[in-house]
Amino acid sequence: MALIITDECINCDVCEPECPNGAISQGDEIYVIDPNLCTECVGHFDEPQCVEVCPVDCIPKDPDHVETKEELMEKYNRIING
């Protein structure tokens, strides 16, 4: 499933450049993840890179965007094939 950034985000900006899908951007108040682009890093890395670097641990899974590993891989393929 896609991940989501909670309001505990401190706008430190370290996650944005780490996302292999360009899914993270600065929102109105905090950073946001585009669920259409977040594959949980499936296809690129074994672990979600944003979670690895976030200093305040504010990037849980988004229960509103539940997806299987297979669906995440299909999303990855859609993204890389444009």
Q: Interface mask (CB under 6 A) for ligand SF4, residues 2-21, using x and -?
A: -x-x---xxxxxxx--xx-x
For 20-71, the DSSP string reads: TT--EEE-SSSEEE-TTT--TTTTT-SS-HHHHH-TT----B-TTS---HHH
Shortest spacing between CB 63 and ligand SF4, in angstroms:
15
- What's the CA gap between 62 and 69, in Å, rounded? 14
Q: Under the criterion CB under 6 A, does residue 1 sit at the interface with ligand SF4?
A: no
Q: Decide whether 11 or 81 has the Cβ nearer to ligand SF4.
A: 11
Query: Residues in the site for ligand SF4, rule: CB under 6 A?
Result: 3, 5, 9-15, 18-19, 21, 23-24, 31, 33, 38-41, 48-50, 53-54, 56, 58-59
